[in-house]
């Protein structure tokens, strides 16, 4: 099998995931409140065994990067809320899985896999979004084996309702990316508060405030002052799958447009009979397929070479860049083809139009991805 094709088992699994998303997950998503963690939805993801597949465990039950992409694309096609709930569990808990101590993994990963504990990835700050290495959340020494965290995090998905946070703080002032440490911080830690943000995307996003929050060696993920590596290896694993999320939305918009233009009467025929419309559909399909292939190639390379393999960061950046930009184009074109009905609150395309914008910003904006690609090429 090449990196650009799926075997029959993978194809059947994608179809099964689409059906599960439509039949079991979408009804739960529709009962949730925008801007809040939908715990029944997260628990159902656990019941279906999908959260277990977020983490490779050496036994064959965990998903590789390609399987993660297939999950996210398939769920996004039928239920973006389910896709995002799954992805945020993975993003928030992957540092614990990959870099945590045995005690940390034993405490938090079983409830994450079961959907009983909600995870969050706390990297961005009011003054350190795209320039993640500029973060300023201070970890001041507090005795021989601890620190106190003081500062803010902003635009954190699942905040302030998560049960624990992977938090990146500055342990060595003035050291740039080399002075950051990753900590596992339970939500009930004294001094940690948060507030929701009213954002365009329907999933929960909020701020976190750290007022002398105490952390110790037992809370460190990985090594002291090496937390930026924890962040970047996590993002390199998940960036292609952000592209897969985008591809799933683009595919849903494309299929809706195919159905609409084939059925809609206009100018003495069907809308699809207009050459300008047919060419637009062809362009949408081509961009969607090109993005899908790049996502699959990046994920397959990650599975083959590992997180530190040659070209992994470049491939991940290319996949996220192309897929998210392409999905924005496809969804926008789909809205244009549908006309005013697509702007009606509750229409599929109105929903996708709100959902598709954020992936071009989070986990590294498109401009950041271009910078990564250029740096890798010149390097």
Name the residues annotated as catalytic.
Answer: 363
Please list, in sequence order, all residues whose beta carbon lies within 8 angstroms of the beta carbon of residue 258, skipping any fewer than 6 positions away: 281
The residue assigned the tokens 């062809």 is: 282
Pairing mode of beta strands 164-170, 180-186: antiparallel
Q: How far is 294 from 184, CA to CA, in rounded Å?
A: 33
8 A C-beta contact, residue 205 and residue 157 = yes
By the 10 Å C-beta count (0-12 exposed, 13-18 middle, 19+ buried), 120 is classed as: buried
Question: Tokens standing for 224?
Answer: 């002291």
8 A C-beta contact, residue 310 and residue 367 = no
Q: How far is 150 from 165, CA to CA, in rounded Å?
A: 15
8 A C-beta contact, residue 94 and residue 235 = no
Rg (CA), the chain: 21
Helix (H) or strand (E) holding 285, with range, is helix 275-305
SS3 at position 229: helix
Q: How far is 155 from 234, CA to CA, in rounded Å?
A: 18
Q: Which residues partner with 266 through β-bridges?
A: 269
């Amino acid at each position: 099998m090449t990196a650009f094709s799926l075997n029959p088992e993978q194809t059947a699994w994608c179809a099964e995931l689409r059906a599960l998303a439509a039949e079991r997950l979408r009804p739960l998503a529709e009962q949730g409140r925008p801007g809040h963690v939908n715990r029944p939805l997260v628990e159902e993801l656990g019941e279906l065994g999908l959260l277990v597949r977020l983490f490779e465990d050496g036994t064959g039950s965990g998903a590789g990067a390609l399987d993660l992409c297939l999950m996210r694309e398939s769920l996004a096609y039928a239920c973006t809320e389910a896709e995002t709930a799954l992805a945020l569990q993975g993003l928030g808990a992957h540092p614990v899985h990959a870099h945590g101590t045995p005690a940390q993994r034993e405490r938090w990963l079983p409830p994450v896999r079961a959907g009983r504990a909600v995870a969050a990835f706390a990297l961005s700050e009011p003054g350190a979004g795209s320039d993640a290495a500029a973060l300023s959340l201070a970890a001041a020494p507090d005795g021989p084996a601890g620190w106190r965290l003081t500062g803010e995090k902003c635009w954190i998905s699942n905040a302030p309702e998560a049960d624990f946070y992977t938090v990146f703080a500055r342990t060595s002032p003035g050291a740039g990316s080399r002075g950051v440490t990753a900590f596992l911080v339970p939500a009930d830690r004294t001094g940690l508060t948060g507030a929701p943000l009213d954002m365009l995307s329907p999933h929960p996003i909020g701020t976190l405030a750290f007022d002398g929050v105490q952390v110790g060696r037992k809370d460190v993920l990985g090594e002291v002052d090496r937390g930026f590596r924890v962040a970047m290896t996590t993002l390199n694993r998940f960036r292609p799958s952000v592209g897969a999320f985008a591809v799933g939305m683009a595919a849903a918009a494309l299929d809706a447009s195919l159905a609409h233009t084939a059925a809609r009467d206009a100018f003495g025929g069907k809308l699809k009979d207009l050459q300008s419309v047919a060419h637009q559909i062809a362009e949408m399909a081509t961009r969607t397929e090109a993005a899908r292939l790049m996502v699959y190639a990046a994920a397959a390379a990650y599975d083959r070479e590992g997180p530190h393999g040659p070209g992994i960061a470049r491939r991940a950046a290319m996949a996220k860049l192309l897929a998210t930009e392409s999905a924005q184009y496809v969804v926008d074109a789909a809205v244009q083809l549908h006309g005013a009905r697509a702007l009606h609150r509750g229409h599929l395309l109105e929903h996708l139009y709100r959902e598709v914008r954020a992936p071009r910003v989070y986990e590294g904006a498109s401009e950041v991805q271009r910078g990564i690609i250029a740096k890798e090429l010149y390097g």
